[in-house]
Structure 1
Amino acid sequence: MKLFAYEKKHSERLRDTLSECTVLLKKDGHFPLSGPCEIAAYGSGIRHTIKGGTGSGEVNSRYSVNVEEGLIEAGFTISTASWLDRYDKELEKAKEQFIRDVKAEAKAAGQNTIVYSMGKAMLEPDYDLPIEGSGDTCVYVLARISGEGNDRREVAGEIKLSQTEIRDILELNEQYEKFMLVLNVGGVVDLSPVMGVKNILLLSQLGAQTGTALADILLGKGNPSGRLSTTWAKVEDYPAMPDFEDINETKYLEGIYVGYRYFDTFQKRALFPFGYGLSYTEFTQEVDKVEVSGEEVSVSVNVANQGKYPGMDVVQLYLSVPTERLDHPYQELCAFAKSKILNPGESQSVSLTFKLSQMASYDEERALYFLERGDYLLRFGNHSGETKAIALIKMSQEQVILTAKNVFGKPGFMELTATGRAEEELNDQIPTLTIEENAFKSETVEYEPNKEILPEVAQLSVDELLYMNIGAFDPNKSGIGSIIGNAGVSVCGAAGETTSMVRDFPHLVMADGPAGLRLAKEFYRDEKGLHSIGQSAIPESMLDFMPKILLFLLSLTSSKKPKKGSKLEYQYCTAIPIGTAVAQSFNEELATIYGDVVGSEMERFGVHLWLAPALNIHRSIRCGRNFEYFSEDPFISGKMAASMTLGVQKHPGCGVTIKHYAANNKELNRYGNDSLVSERAMREIYTKGFGICVREAQPKAVMTSYNLVNGTHTAEHRGMIEDLLRAEYGFQGIVMTDWVIALATNKKGIHRNTLASYEAAAGSDVFMPGGKGDFKEMKRGLEEGIVTKEQLQINATRVLKMARELTEARK
C-alpha cells in the first residue's frame, strides 16, 4: 500500500507520539521485551482492534493496523493462529444473532432501526476454547467499542468482564512468565476481578496505528507516559445515578462531586485514581520552589529519571479550598505539566503556574464567582489519590472575582453536599504564602448583546434571511443523507454546510469526526454533483442495520466505480487518537500537534469547520460517547480543547466547532432528555471547560447539545448562548445546533425536539443540518413573533462574517 506524501508524513508524525496517550497501570519488570519473539496472542482485540468509537467518531482512514498485523510487522511470531481462527467463528455467530436481536428490539419498540442501532455494542460472547499457545510471552487484548446513540451497560461483556475473559486472563497470567493484559477500550471497564494480573496496559484507541503502537510499546520503542483522565473503579463505587436510564429526566444529584472530586472528598478507594500512571522507568519528583506573585502561583519541580529506560513524567498540582461559605471538593486539579524525554540519570526542572482566580467558586445566592477567605493548601503528587501539601496560601479576606447573573434556573432538588473536612496535620517545613488584598481584579459582566447587522444583510428578503439561519438543503430533495451526517454538497461525505443559496455570499463546509475528519474516501464528480464510491461516506457500524430501500436510495448518489469520463478522487484522512487518549497524554503540546494534522487535511480537502473537539464531562462511565470526550475534569478538558483548537486554527481558513454545549452526558433519548443540574454544577463542572477553551483559543464555532437543561433545550437557551457563552466567556464566533433529525425522536419521550424558530430567537446562528420542514417552521415562528426579523439579521450577520473570514483566509 503506497501512501500519499501527506499520509506518510502524518503517519510518521503520529507514531512517535502514541505511547504518550497510553497508561501503564501495573508492571512487574518483565516489559519491555529485549526483542521480537514467539508470542501467544489472545482476546478480541488481536484481530478486531478498535481504532475509535462509532457514529460521528468514525474516521474513514485508508487503513487501520490491528494488533496481529502490528506484531507480525514488528517481527513477532504469533503461536495462537488456530485460537484466533476459532474465536473469529464464535464472534461471527454472535454478531449474526446480535443483528437479528437489535432489529427485533427496534421493531418492538416502534423505533427506526438505524437510529435504534446507533452505538449499540455487541456483548463479548462467552466461549470455550482451549489455551494452546507456546513461548514464554503472552498478551491478551481486551476490546470494547461504544458510540454515538447508545450508552454502555453495567453487564458482563461490556463494562464488566465476561466470565470467559476473567477465566482466560487469570489462567494466562499464571501460565506465562511474561504476560500483559492490554485494554483496547474507549472507556472504563471494571477490572476488579483481574487485579492480580502482573502487567496491565491501557492502550486505549489510538487511530489507524493502534496495532503498531502496541508492538512499539512491547519492544520499548515507546514508553507509556500517559495518566488517567478518568477515575477507574468498581462499578458499584461510583456515585449513585438512579435515573440514568430515565428517558425524560436526569437529576444530577451528585452536583459538583464528579469523578475524583467524589472519590477524594468522600474517601472512596478507586482501583486506579485520576492522574494515575506508571512507566517502564522510575522517576523521582522533588519540589524546589513555591512562589506567589500577585495572584499567580509558581512551582518548580525537579524530575529525575532514576531507572533504566528513557521516559517522560507528569507533574500534577491540586488545590484544597477553604470551606467557610460553601462546601468544596477535597482538592481540584489546578496545573499539570509533562517533562521532556529524560534518559536514565537525566533530570529536568519543570515549571508550573496558575492563577488563583481560575479556581473561583460560584455562589448561586449572590450570583458571583469568588475565592473564600482562609487557608488554601497547594498539593502535589503522582495522582489524586496520593497528594501531599507543599504550601499553605493565606487569604485574609474574601475576593469577588466576577459578578454575573444566574441563567440556568433551579433543578428542583437538593444535591449532594460534603459534611465537613477533617483537620489535616501539616508538615511544619512547608512554606506559608500570603496573598495581598490588591492581587485580584474584580469585574462585572456587561450583558448587552451585540446587535451588529451588516448593510447587505439588512437588504435580504425574508426567505433569504431564513436560508442564512438554516444549514444548506436542497428544497427538491429528501435530505436522507443528513440522517448519517452526510449533508455536504461541496465536499463529498462532509456533514453539512451553511447555505449557498443567498446571492454571492460564501458558505462554510463542515466535516464530522472528533478523531480526525470523516469524509468519503473515494469519489468522483460530474454535472450532477459529487458521488462517493461504494458506501465510503457511510459509517461502517450502520451498514448492517440499513434497510435495503435506504441503501438503494443512498446508492443513487454513489457508485462502485467512476462514471465514464470522470476522474477518481481521494480523501484519505488520518485517524488520530480518541479524545480520552489525547487527554491521557497530559501534554498540551501533543494536542496541538494532533490539531495541526487535522487542520492540514482540512486545508487539503476544502473543509472550513471541523465538528470537534468534544469536551463534555465523563459524568458517568456508562455514557456511550465518553471516548470522544477528554476527561471527568473540566480543567484538563478545557486545556486540551484549547490546544487542539490552536493546532487547527493555525491553518488559514480552518476552524473548530467545540461541542456539545452542554451537559450532554448520556445518549439515551439524547434529543429529549432534560438534564436537571444546579447553577453551580453547570458553571464549575459542565461549562467550565468551554470557557477555558474560548478564552485561550477563541474557536470559530460552538455546537449546542441535543438535551434540555432545567426544562429548556440548550439550542433555545438564550442564557447559555448570549449571557454565558458570549457575554461572560467572550465568544466571538458562530453557534450552531447539533444535527436535529425528526426521525431520531424517541416516541416515548415527553419533550419535543429543538425547533428552528426558538433556536434562532435564542441567538443561535445556524439550525443544522437543515431541511424544508425547518424552513417552514422558522417562517411560521417569524410570523407568530417567536423570533424577530432583527434577530435573524443579527444571526445572519455572524454567519456571513465567519464565512467571509474563513473563505478569504483560504485564498
Structure 2
Amino acid sequence: FADVVLGKVSPCGRLTDTWPLLPQDHICMRPENRSAVCAGAVPYREGIYVGYRYFDTFGVPVRYGFGHGLSYTEFTVETQNLSLCPSPQASAELTVTVRNTGARYSARQVVQVYATCPLGGLHKEARRLVCYGKTRTLAPQSAQSLTLRFPLERLASYDAAAGGKTLCAGNYHLWVGASLAGARHIGALSLCQPVLVEKLDRLWPEFDDVDTLFPSAERCAAWRQSLDEALLARALPVVRVGPCAFSKTPKAPHAEPGPGALQRAGAIAAALSDEQLIRLCVGQWSRETESQLGAAGVSVPGSAGETSAAAGDAGVPPMVLADGPAGLRLNKVYFEKNGAPIIAPLEQCFEGGYLALSEYDPGGTRRYQYCTAFPIGTLLAQTWDTALLGEVGRAVGREMELFRVSLWLAPGMNIHRDPLCGRNFEYFSEDPLLSGLTAAAVAGGVQSCPGRGVTIKHFACNNQEQLRTESNSIVSERALREIYLRGFEIAVKSAQPMAIMTGYNLVNGVHAANSRALCTHIAREEWRFSGLFMTDWDSTSSQRCTPEGCILAGNDLMMPGSRRECAALASALESGALPRAALRRCAANVICAALCSGAAPGGSSDAHDPAGQ
C-alpha cells in the first residue's frame, strides 16, 4: 500500500462491480423489493439484468463502471486480429497489442472483451463479459501482444422454447478495452443459422414469469442495427461462423476424483452397516452441546468440523474441514494435555475468543496456529489475474498440509446481486464469468497440493444474510442458468472442486440443501460433478430442510453433525422413506473424498509450536 501511495508501484486492479450514483439505482434496492427481502420471499424481478447488465442496457448513469480502474500511466489497446479456432471446441481468438504510452511509470493493464449478442426472439443485455487477460509489467513505451481466446458457448443464452443453451443467427459484436465504459467496437462474429449448443431439461417452468424487467425491444433492435451498419461503414472485421464449427464440441468429461477411488469407495460402502453409512453422512460432533457455530473440529482446534471415523477400520480416514474465506480460519492459540488438544468453551471458539470475558488458560502446553490472512474474495477478483490467484491457492494448499486440513470451506462465489448482502466481501463479483474463472483459479491452486480440496459455496442464490435460513429466492430458470449458476458451472467444469456447499436459502420454494434439481440434476448430471456435496452448518435446523431430504437430493454430508440428524436418517431408513441405495450412494461420495484427501488428522505437526518456540 505504501509503495502504491508513494508512486513506486502503479495500481493495476479493476472493479468487479458497478458503483451506482445512488444506492436505490440498484433494482433490488427499490422500496418494493426491500419489503420482499424483509418478508423472506424474494422475487428476482430483474431477471438477467444484474449489475452492469442493468446499468448498461437501460442507460442508467453510474459513478464507477464495471471494470473501471486507475493507473499512474496511460495505455493504448489495439486489436490486431480476430479469427475462429474450431478445435478442440468452437472458439474465437483475438490478438491485442497493449502499449504503455507514458514516460515515467511501469505498470500492468487489464484487457476486457465484451459481446453484444443478437436478439433472436429473446431480450438480452447490451453487453456481457466473455474474456479478459492481463499484461506483464510494461516499462514506458514498451508493448505486449496478448492472445485472448474464448469458447463461443459463452455467447449462448438459455431459451426454454428451444430446449437449452442456444446461439441465434446474426452478428455477435465484440468490444475490447480496459473497462466496459472504455471498450471499443472492434468487429463481429457472424453466425449464419441458429445452433442448439447444449440441450437442457427444463426444471423450474412455473417460475419463468417472475421476470418483470424488460428493455425496450425497439431500442435494443435499433442499437444492434446501428452496430451492423458500423461494421460496413468502418470496415470492421467480420468472421463467418458456420454450424459445422460446433460439430466437434466435446462434452464435459466426468472427471475421476482419483485412480479407482469411486470404485473402491462404492465397494467399501456396500460392506458397511446402516449405522456406519448414517454416521459417514453426518459430521462428527465433538461436544455434548454438539454444534459449535462453525468451530466444531477437535483434531485441529478452531477448524469448522470433521467427518466421522465410523469406517476407519475399512481404511477411510476422517477429514478436517477449515473455514475461510481469507485463508484458513483456525484458533491462533490452543492448549494441549497428554498430547491431545483441550476442547475450549464456546465463547473461546467463536470468532477467536471475541466473546470471552477473561483470558483463557486451562493449563497444559500452549500451542500456536498462525495462518496467513489473505485478501478478501472481492479484492482477489479485482486483480483480474488468474495466475496470481493460482499462487494464492497454492499457498493456502501448503498451509492446509501444515495444519492437516483436508477441505477448505472456500472460495465463496455467489453473485453480488444486493449491495446490502452481509457476505459480499467473501464473494467475487456481480459477473458470473469473472466469478467462475476466479474460483477455478483459486481451486486449481489449492488442489495442485495432493490431498487438499476446496469447497465452492454457497450453492445457490445465497444473496442475502437477512432471514438467511428461511429466505426463498424466486428466480426464473433463465436467470438461474445465465447468472446465478453460471459461475459454479465454470468452476466445476474448469477445476472439478473436491466439494460443493449448499446455501441456507430456498430456491423456488425448495431448500437448497434439499434440492435434487440443484445437487443431482444440474451439478452431477449436467456438469458431471464428481465430488462431495455438503450442507452449510446446521442447515437442517430449519424446518424447511430435513436430513432425509438432503440424502434424497444427493447432498452427501450434513455438517457439523448431530445426534438428531442421525436419528432422523435411521427413522427414515426404517420407514422406507429413505432408500438404502440413496444413503449408500451418498456415503460412497464421502468415502471417495476421504480417500482422495489421504490426510488423516491427528499426530504432531511442525506448524503447531510450543510456547516460546
After TM superposition, the score normalised by the length of structure 2 is: 0.89
- Aligned counterpart, 1:296: 91
Extract unaligned runs of 5+ from structure 2: 604-613
Aligned match of 2:283: 471
Measured against aligned partners, the alpha-carbon deviations of 1:619-638 in whole angstroms (never above 9, x if no partner) come to: 11111110000000000000
1:786 aligns with 2:577: yes
Q: Does 1:238 align with 2:26?
A: yes
**For each residue in 1:245-294, what CA deviation from the matched residue of structure 2 results, as whole angstroms up to 9, or x when unmatched?**
32420000000000000011111111110001110111111111111222
| 1:300-339 to 2 correspondences below 5 Å | 300-307=95-102, 308-339=104-135
Say yes or no: does 1:361 pair with 2:157: yes
Alignment of 1:618-633 (within 5 A): 618-633=416-431
Instruction: Check conservation: 2:319, 2:599, Cα contact below 8 A.
Output: no
Matches within 5 A, 1:663-682: 663-682=461-480
Identity %: 38
Q: d(CA) in 2 for partners of 1:640 and 1:742?
A: 30
Counterpart selection for 2:482 from 684, 689, 713: 684
Q: Report the CA distance between 1:543 and its aligned residue.
A: 3.2
The match for 1:506 among 294, 304, 317 is: 317
TM (norm. structure 1) is 0.68
Instruction: Report the Cα offset of residue 727 of structure 1.
Output: 1.2
Amino acid at match of 1:652: P
Letter in 2 for 1:522: V
Matched, 1:376 2:187: no
Equivalent in the alignment of 1:573: 371
Decide whether aligned partners of structure 1 residues 641 and 674 sit closer, same or farther in structure 2, where only a CA change above 3 A counts. same
- What is the one-letter code of the residue matched to 1:314? V
Aligned letter for 1:497?
E
Residue type of the alignment partner of 1:714: A
Q: Give CA deviations for 1:595-650 in whole Å, capped at 9, x if unaligned.
A: 11111100000000000001100011111110000000000000000000011011
Structure 2 Cα separation of the partners of residues 516 and 395 of structure 1: 45
Counterpart amino acid of 1:360? A
Are 2:566 and 1:775 aligned?
A: yes
Match of 2:301 among 492, 512, 521: 492
1:431 aligns with 2:226: no
Q: Which residue of 1 aligns with 2:328?
A: 517
Secondary structure of 2:27's partner?
coil
Structure 1, residues 567-615: CA drift from partner, whole Å, max 9, x if none? Answer: x322100011111101111111111111111111000000000000011
Q: Aligned pair in 2 of structure 1 residues 392, 445: CA closer, same or farther (>3 Å)? A: closer
Q: CA deviation at 1:562?
A: 4.1
Answer whether contact 2:410 2:457 (CA < 8 A) is retained.
yes
* Higher mean C-alpha deviation, range 287-296 or range 223-232: 287-296
Aligned length: 572
CA contact (8 A) 2:193 2:242 kept: no
Separation (CA, whole Å) in 2 of partners of 1:410 and 1:560: 58
Cα displacement string for residues 21-80 of structure 1 (whole angstroms, at most 9, x for unaligned residues): xxxxxxxxxxxxxxxxxxxxxxxxxxxxxxxxxxxxxxxxxxxxxxxxxxxxxxxxxxxx
Distance 1:407 1:490 in 2: 42
Aligned mates of 2:100, 2:349 — CA distance in 1:
47
Secondary structure of 2:311's partner? Answer: coil
Q: Deviations over 1:433-462 (max 9, x none)?
A: 100220003789999xx9977233122222
For the Cα contact (< 8 Å) 2:436–2:487, is it kept in 1? yes
Partners of 2:420 and 2:234 lie apart in 1 by 44
* 1:518-539 deviation per Cα after TM superposition (whole angstroms, max 9, x unaligned): 0011223224942378976431
Q: Secondary structure at the match of 1:489?
A: coil
* Aligned partner letter, 2:212: E
Does 2:206 match 1:415?
no
Question: Which amino acid is 2:240 matched to?
Answer: T
Letter matched to residue 24 of structure 2: E
CA offsets per residue over residues 732-774 of structure 1, 9 Å max, x none? 100000001677x6xxxxxx24211100111111011111111
- Give the letter for the 1:439 counterpart: A
Give, as a single letter, the amino acid of the residue that structure 2 aligns with 1:656. V
C-alpha distance in 2 between matches for 1:562 and 1:282: 60
Q: Aligned equivalents of 2:507 and 2:47: distance in 1?
A: 14
Return the offset for 1:808.
Answer: 6.1
Residue-by-residue CA offset, 1:394-443 (whole Å, 9 max, x unaligned) = 11100111111022343253432222213325142211110022000378
Decide whether the 8 Å contact of 1:410 with 1:679 is kept in 2: no
Question: Which stretches in structure 1 are left out of the alignment for 5+ residues?
Answer: 1-212, 545-550, 746-751
Alpha carbons of 1:732 and 1:343: their partners in 2 closer, same or farther (altered >3 Å)? same
| 1:462 equivalenced with 2:250 (yes/no) | no
3-state SS of paired residue (2:522): helix
State the alpha-carbon separation in 1 of the partners of residues 206 and 188 from structure 2: 36
Aligned partner of 1:228 in structure 2 is: 15
> After superposition, what is the alpha-carbon deviation per residue over 1:200-253, rounded to whole angstroms, capped at 9, x for unaligned?
xxxxxxxxxxxxx2x221112332111110000121221145334324200000
Distance in 1 of aligned mates of 2:583 and 2:156: 36
Letter in 1 for 2:361: K
Q: How well do the aligned residues superpose, as a CA RMSD in angstroms?
A: 2.5
* Paired residues of 1:578 and 1:627 also in contact (CA < 8 A): yes
Aligned partners of 2:412 and 2:456 also within 8 Å: yes
1:712 correspondence with 2:510: yes
What amino acid is the match of 1:702?
A: I
How much does 1:777 deviate?
1.6
Q: Secondary structure at the match of 1:319?
A: strand
For 1:356, give the aligned amino acid.
L
Kindly provide the amino acid, as one letter, of the partner of residue 558 in structure 2: F
- Does the 8 Å contact 1:410/1:677 carry over to 2? no
Deviation at 1:700, TM superposition (A): 0.3
**1:396 aligns to 2:186 (yes or no):** no
Q: Residue 532 of structure 1 contacts residue 559 of structure 1 at CA under 8 Å; is this kept in 2? A: no
DSSP-derived class of the 1:652 partner: coil
Distance 1:537 1:389 in 2: 54
Distance 1:433 1:611, change over 3 A: same
How far apart in 2 are the matches of 1:533 and 1:772? 21
Residue 699 of structure 1 pairs with residue 497 of structure 2: yes
Cα shift readout 1:690-730 (whole Å, capped 9, x = no counterpart): 11111111100000111111111111111111111011111
Code of the aligned partner of 2:446: V
Change beyond 3 A, Cα 1:562–1:365 = farther
